[in-house]
Chains A and B, each alone.
Chain A
Amino acid sequence: MKNGVGVAQNIVLFGGTSEIGHAILRKIVKPGVARVALVSRDLDDAALFASEMEDSFPDVEIHHVRYDAADASSMAHVVTEIVSEIGDIDVAVIAQGLLNEGADYYNDPTALIPLAEVNFTSTMVLLYALAQQMKLQGYGKTVLLSSVAGERVRKGNPAYGATKAGIDGFALALDHELVGSGASILVVRPGFVTTKMTTGMKKAPFSTDAESVAKVVESGIASGKKVVWAPSLLRWMFLILKSVPLPIWRKLPL
């Protein structure tokens, strides 16, 4: 559960090496947190962040769990393993994702399979597994990192946008099913975030950074919102952009 001042006891990060994930944990790990589990493919990559957490919060137990985000069939098992390690999962942050920017899907269409697995299939299985666990707990919050790229899928990286569109819609509907159970999902829609994942890419308008995303997530968890945007202005922009007629949409310099 969370305590009376909004601090969760046990926090799990899926994608234990994600910069946005780290930024979110820096905001939501506070006095009162008992355990943090970093779930990642490469434990060494998460170790640096783990030692940072240990320095800042000596009372918090840090756990490492290894997983392969592309292995959708292992997700339910991963959740069981985490629960046996730390107990209840009070807040789960799902920051696993592939961008595959610049991939040549025309020459190698199969290159999008891992992207679809990580961003969509595997995340969907994970959301169900977490939902089931949190229903049993009578409490739990899953934070899903979606993207504005899913709001209206466009050229450039349609495969990425489509996976985000799919998982975003799925998460909102699943949250609807969970009403009254104590479990809920917060969908986070950042714009272009400057991280190592986007290094070398041309910055899109209204770009943001991991810390700003984390701030929005922290207040979204506290206020019990269903969807948050980073920056929040994007919410109003996309209200318009989604209804722009297709011929005009295609001409927009986005």
Chain B
Amino acid sequence: MALQRLSGWGRTAWTVADLFHTNDVHEMQGIIDGSGPRGVIARGLGRSYGAAAQNAGGNVIEITAEGDPNGIDAFLDSATGELDVASSVSLDSILRMSVPRGWFVPVTPGTRFITVGGAIASDVHGKNHHFDGSFGQHVSSITLMLASGEIVEMTPQSHPEWFWATVGGMGLTGIVLRAKVRMLRIESSRVRVETERLVNFDAVCEAMSSDGADNDYRYSVCWIDLLATGSSMGRGVLTRGEHASVADVKDDDVLAYDPRLKVPAPGWVPNGLLNKWSIKAFNEVWYRKAPATRHVSIESIPQFFHPLDGVHQWNRLYGKQGFIQYQFIVPLDRIDVLRAVIETFSSAGVASFLAVLKRMGAQNLAPMSFPTEGWTLTLDMAAGIKGLPELLAKVDNMVLDAGGRHYLAKDSHVSPTAVRRGYPRLDEWMHTRDSMDPRGLWRSDLARRLGLVSAQHTRENE
């Protein structure tokens, strides 16, 4: 145990907690027993952007498998594709083991450096949400350590309320110890990708619309140039794909998988490196690089799914100020709000290095799971931009008024009211959460800010 400053991937809002690192359930039980009024939260690889895996003044248990001498605690049934895996294992480790055997993770976000525990707690989604749903839908069992120290194996049949409260529950129902995940059969380790350039936002929304060809692609996502103005406003590059068949791959070893890190980000970066002008230049190149007409290519898994993982610690590119990711969703018929949000950011001069639009499919059974049927837009921006709190408050209201919501794994700033408005099943979830943890042991800075743990205030001031 040691006092440690922690932040999320966005490197903002640092707080100090007692940090423990263990994969041992007895040690975890000891830490729970010894926890004071400020409670405990589990932390994986620290890829959530905001304050979900930190706990100011309390305990944090870091549960990762990196450097585990016993190797990776994951068993893949090659016949059925069922993966029985420790929560500490990263998607990176799983893919290294499973891809050569012809199995892919059912859902991956833009990084493979997340743990299985984090994937469940945030109920992560990927480019296939409209096709396959989010991570939790592919989990058949979760082994959870409760606040009492008791360990329970839950399936959607045996403990429906607890299971779905844990999926997307931001770690506030307990510590995920193990999970069973249904993997996806693949013929090759390549992806057949179709890329096309879309001249403006109307073209983007039409190409991705729910009644069009977009439903035929397993993977679909569009990069948006937020700085383009006038008739090019909202132009983008749409990439869609499917796992390539053996016939698509020229290589002899169709299941070869070699995800190497390419370049490290520099150790120190000045605050203003990513600014309106540098991003504008980048956007122009990126847009022009994409073929003007539809183009088919065969890409590797890291190239298509995890391009940013190629830059080690890319989160340092914003300098000491850090950055935030703003991800929200609005219903399918509220394209007007997407447009208004883009215009609001762009007229305030806020540049986003990566702006990504995706159409999401149906919602799952988890009350706090983020994806619902609609459009999700993700932007990143420097945390130190002047006037950002006021600007975000304005945009938050535009999103909420349209019946939208914000993604808690990325959230940096929303108010308790914003969560209440965005997640109509919040009370139901809190009720289940409280039944699993009546004393309010599990808590994080995110929970503290949003009031997600009802016993919190009284208990901390006993």
Beyond A3-B412, A87-B460, A180-B16, whether A139 also contacts B417 by CB under 8 A is no
Q: B5-27 vs A: 1/0 string, CB under 8 Å?
A: 10010101111110000000000
Q: Given that A4-B10, A4-B12, A87-B460 are known contacts, is A138 also in contact with B17, CB under 8 Å in the complex? A: yes
B388 to chain A: which residues have CB within 8 Å? 5
Binding site for B on A (CB under 8 A): 1-7, 9, 30-32, 34, 59, 83-84, 87-88, 135-139, 180-182, 222
Q: How far is the CB of A88 from chain B (nearest CB, A)?
A: 8
Contact partners of B392 in chain A: CB under 8 A: 5, 31
- For A6, the chain B residues whose CB sits under 8 A away are 12-13, 383-384, 389
Asked if B431 is at the interface (CB within 8 A of a chain A CB), the reply is: no
With CB as the reference atom, state the residue of chain A lying closest to B416.
A34
**Nearest CB in chain B to that of A83: its residue:** B461
Q: Would you give the shortest CB distance from B455 to chain A, in whole angstroms?
A: 13
How many Cβ-Cβ contacts under 8 Å join chain A to chain B? 98
Instruction: Show 14 A/B contacts (Cβ-Cβ < 8 Å), sorted by A.
Output: A1-B449, A3-B412, A4-B49, A4-B50, A4-B51, A5-B413, A6-B13, A32-B389, A32-B413, A34-B416, A83-B461, A138-B56, A138-B58, A180-B5
B58 contacts across to A, CB distance below 8 A: 138
Q: Which residues of A contact B17 (CB under 8 A)?
A: 138
Chain B: minimal CB distance from A142 (Å): 15
Query: Are A1 and B15 also in contact (CB < 8 A) when A32-B415, A84-B461, A137-B56 are?
Result: yes
Given A5-B413, A7-B413, A138-B57, A31 and B5 touching (CB < 8 A)? no
Q: Are A139 and B15 in contact (CB under 8 A)?
A: yes
User: Cβ of B13 and Cβ of A3 under 8 Å apart?
Assistant: yes
A32 x B461 contact (CB < 8 A): no
Partner among A7, A87, A88, A136 whose Cβ is within 8 Å of the Cβ of B389: A7
B457 proximal to A (CB < 8 A):
yes
User: Quick check: is B334 within 8 A (CB to CB) of the other chain?
Assistant: no
User: Are B412 and A182 touching (Cβ within 8 A)?
Assistant: no
Which of chain A's residues have a CB closer than 8 A to the CB of B448?
Answer: 1, 9, 88
Instruction: Name the residue of chain B whose CB is nearest to the CB of A80.
Output: B461
Give complex CA distance A1, B51 in Å.
Answer: 10
Which A residues lie within 8 Å of B57 (CB)?
Answer: 135-139, 182
Decide yes or no whether B322 CB sits under 8 A from chain A. Answer: yes
How close is A79's CB to chain B, nearest CB, in angstroms? 12
Interface bracket on B: 35 or more
B3 to chain A, nearest CB (A): 6
A81 to chain B, nearest CB (A): 11
CB distance from B69 to the nearest CB of A (A): 31
Within 8 A of A (CB), among B318-376: 322, 324
- 13 additional contacts, CB 8 Å, given A34-B416, A138-B57? A1-B15, A1-B56, A3-B413, A4-B12, A4-B413, A5-B388, A6-B384, A7-B389, A9-B449, A30-B389, A137-B57, A138-B38, A180-B3
Docked-complex contact A59 and B417, CB < 8 angstroms: yes
A3 to B49, CA, bound (A): 12
**Which chain A residues lie closer than 8 Å to B15 at the CB level?**
1, 138-139, 182
* Shortest beta-carbon contacts, A-B, top 3: A4-B412, A182-B16, A138-B57
Query: Is B211 part of the binding interface, using a Cβ–Cβ cutoff of 8 Å?
Result: no
- Is B252 an interface position by the 8 A CB rule? no
Any A CB within 8 A of the CB of B445: yes
Which residues of B from 418 to 460 have beta carbons under 8 Å from A? Answer: 445, 448-449, 457, 460
In the complex where A138-B57, A180-B3, A182-B5 touch, is A4 in contact with B16 (Cβ < 8 A)? Answer: no
Alpha-carbon separation in the docked complex, A34 to B445 (Å): 14
Are B56 and A182 closer than 8 Å at their CB atoms? yes
Q: How many Å from the CB of A198 to the closest CB on chain B?
A: 31
Q: Mark B298-328, 1 if CB is under 8 A from A, else 0.
A: 0000000000000000000000001010000
Bound-state Cα–Cα, A4 to B322, Å: 9
* Alpha-carbon gap, A45 to B50, bound state (A): 39
Residue of A nearest to B18 (CB): A138
The residue of chain B having its C-beta at the shortest distance from the C-beta of A136 within the complex is B57
CB within 8 Å for A222 and B10 given contacts A1-B449, A30-B390, A32-B413: no
User: Are A87's CB and B461's CB within 8 A?
Assistant: yes
Contacts of B461 in A (CB 8 A): 83-84, 87
Query: Judging by beta carbons under 8 Å apart, are A32 and B393 in contact?
Result: yes
Is there contact, CB below 8 Å, between A5 and B3?
no
Q: Closest residue of chain A to B322, judged by CB? A: A4
Task: Enumerate chain B residues within 8 angstroms of A222, measured Cβ to Cβ.
Answer: 384
A30-B390, A138-B57 given as contacts; is B324 within 8 A of A5 (CB)? Answer: yes
For the complex, what is the distance from the CA of A179 to the CA of B383, rounded to whole Å? 24
Contact status B383-A31, CB under 8 Å: no
List the B residue with the shortest CB-CB distance to A183: B16
A25 to chain B, nearest CB (A): 15
Give every chain B residue within 8 A of A139 (Cβ-Cβ): 15-16, 56-57
Taking CB atoms, residues of chain B closer than 8 Å to A181 are 3, 16
Chain B nearest CB from A206 CB (Å) reads 26
